[in-house]
Amino acid sequence: MTAAMLVMLALRTSIFLIVFSLGLRATRADLLYLVSRPGRLSRTLLAMAVVMPLVAVGLSLAFNLHPAVKTALVALSLAPVPPILPRKELKAGGHGSYVIGLLAAAALLSIVFIPVAEHFLRRLFDVGVDRPPTMVIGLVAVTVLVPLLAGTLARRLGPALAERLASPLNTFATILLVLTCLVLLLHSWKVGLPLIGNGNVLVIAVFVVIGLIVGHLLGGPEPENRVVLALSTASRHPGVAMAIASTTSPEEKLTIGAILLYLLVNTIISIPYVRWARARQVASVPGAAHP
């Protein structure tokens, strides 16, 4: 087994364990949270599956971007939320049931939505994609659906053991993920360098900011739900986006570089938003100590 294969195995293992540990604390009601709330589900779908694809297409047509950046933006707008995002949303004060329900709903939706998206990308970029997107469906299943359902089932069979394992398992998986990402960054940071300049990074930043604003505005009156939808609208599954892009972009390496740039920009921009949202939540609690 090569070093690259070991790194990818460590990455997939860490993501699987993070979502599995989330499932260890989830219930059936959490998984079905959005299904039982059609109003909130419709706002979530509007933000993630309607507004953001339109924003991505609009930015692609309005600016003279590198073709790889155009493909990356559209592919990201069609991808579900990344499997490691719930940890960030929970730390930001997000409602636990909404976090888990959105992760599950977005993953399930993508199985139906992404084949339509493949057709949409073909028409937009005039690139023929005729095969079924089995790679994308497999990624969604392996990184989200299977570990989430497995964790939830394990909790149902042994709730006490699941509660004891959830935290240490999540800690181990997070450390493994951070180390793996550092290795990947050291080996791939040059991929996105050709795309820096000509407004590419600025447009990526605009895409992220619009996502945060749209999700925040459509998240409803509860601050803990607004922060969840804002982060979910702006943050998308990079693996699924790369899989989509690999079928549509003739410049696959540069498209991957654009997605890596998006991850960096998204991380930087999300930090002040999370702090602001958290401060507002604290301030809205009667008698809470204001920062």
Q: Please, what are the domains in the chain?
A: 10-280 (1.20.1530.20)
CA distance 86 to 262: 19
Q: What is the pLDDT of residue 194?
A: 72
List, for residues 173-226, the tens digit of each pLDDT value: 889 888 887 887 777 667 766 778 778 899 999 999 999 999 999 998 888 899
List, for residues 91-111, the tens digit of each pLDDT value: 888 888 999 999 999 988 888
Under 8 Å CB-to-CB from 178, ≥6 apart: which residues? none
Q: Which of 41, 33, 15, 10 is nearest to 148 (CA)?
A: 15
Query: What is the phi/psi pair of residue 286, to 5°?
Result: -60, 130
* Residue 199: both structure tokens together: 């407004």
Separation of CA 194 from chain center: 25
List, for residues 166-177, the tens digit of each pLDDT value: 999 989 988 988
CA distance 223 to 291: 17
Mean pLDDT (whole number) for 36-50: 92
List, for residues 251-288, the tens digit of each pLDDT value: 667 888 888 889 989 999 999 999 998 888 777 665 54
* Residue 72: both structure tokens together: 């990356």
Q: What is the pLDDT of residue 121?
A: 60
CA distance 18 to 177: 9
| Residue in this structure with the two tokens 């590198």, named with its chain if needed | 66
Note the residue count of the chain: 291
Separation of CA 165 from chain center: 25
Better-predicted residue by pLDDT, 60 or 233: 233
CA distance 160 to 78: 38
The answer to whether 78 and 109 are in contact (CB under 8 A) is no
Q: What's the chain's average pLDDT?
A: 84
pLDDT higher than threshold 90 for residue 117: no
Q: Which of 181, 114, 184 is nearest to 144 (CA)?
A: 114
Whether pTM > 0.75 for this model: the answer is yes
